[in-house]
A = this chain, B = another copy of it.
Amino acid sequence: MQVTPKIKVVRRLRWADPTLSWGFVPTMGYLHAGHLSLVERARADNDRVAVSIYVNPTQFAPTEDLSTYPRNMERDLALLREVGVDLVFTPDNDVMYPPGFQTSVSVNDVSQPLEGASRPTHFAGVTVVVAKLFNIMQPTRAYFGQKDAQQVIVLQRMVRDLNFNLDLVVCPTGREPDGLAMSSRNVHLSPEQRSAATVLSRCLREAVVMLHAGERDGNALRALMRDTIVAEPLATIDYVSVADPETLQEVEQVTDRALLSLAVFFGRIRLIDNMLWLTPTN
């Protein structure tokens, strides 16, 4: 496994044999089983696998948790070595955003609601860094988790609109045995918060059950999710959404598909989760 902070080294390894396919998993490190399942999928689909570890400052607002975002490079590299990765790219900020940097990449409409409404500069940071990483790595396939549902939608739009020559592969959300979506931020939860945080997946599952039972009213579904979270004293709702999975606009009446998603604070820790509901095909 080669580990390098240098773009030149990445390019040399990537293009040493241009006939090989490369899978790429961009991460912010502090890897959990969710990340590792992306790596395993990349491993299965491609000749070679590259992972990047970079806590991208431009996707954090000044008020957010950039400085406290958990980091453990040594442990991350050990985990990746175990799964079997060929190349790990670990750039510094001055490699990614050197003096004079002034280019922006934005996906305008689907970046606005939900996470975009709560974190107005977040997706511009995500799109610029992912565009850079795609150009540095030039993978055949890139792997992202459904956990960050809106991120996936924004990036799918970017890949299509800017004609990146790669397949964006979306993998299921990794979950703890009690249903909590895996997140590097979970490490910051107190034992009480950790236990309360199961309310996210629980309320999503309840909404899915209601959809299966025939409930189609967006307001009723949002109210159901909201009520479940409000009943949990340690949880504070940021948003609860039942949206069209392509436009991310809130729906009045669910037709054949819906993205159920939410963001909830536990103290200062903000967690997100989602489930994509599709009409069961007969």
Contact = CB atoms under 8 A, between A and B. Distances in A.
A131 B19 contact: no
Stoichiometry, as copies per complex, reads 2
A265 to B, nearest CB: 30
Interface string A100-114: 111111111110000
A78 interface: no
Contacts of A18: 18-19
Nearest to A131: B162
Contact of A105 (B101, B105, B110, B164): B105
Interface in A135-169: 135-136, 138, 157-158, 161-165
A108 B107 CA distance: 16
B163 A7 contact: yes
Contacts of A212: none
A132 B162 contact: yes
Given A18-B18, A18-B19, A19-B18, A161 B107 contact: no
Given A18-B19, A106-B104, A11 B165 contact: yes
A247 B105 CA distance: 21
Contacts of A158: 103
A132 B158 CA distance: 10
Given A132-B163, A164-B135, A157 B107 contact: no
Contacts of A108: 102-104
A22 B238 CA distance: 50
Given A163-B7, A164-B135, A165-B135, A103 B103 contact: no
Contacts of A109: 102
B104 A105 contact: yes
A162 B102 contact: no
Interface of A: 7, 11, 18-19, 100-110, 127-128, 131-132, 135-136, 138, 157-158, 161-165
3 closest A-B pairs by CB: A103-B161, A18-B18, A135-B163
20 contacts: A11-B165, A101-B161, A102-B107, A102-B110, A102-B157, A103-B105, A103-B106, A103-B127, A103-B157, A103-B158, A103-B161, A103-B162, A105-B162, A128-B162, A131-B162, A132-B161, A132-B162, A132-B163, A136-B163, A138-B165
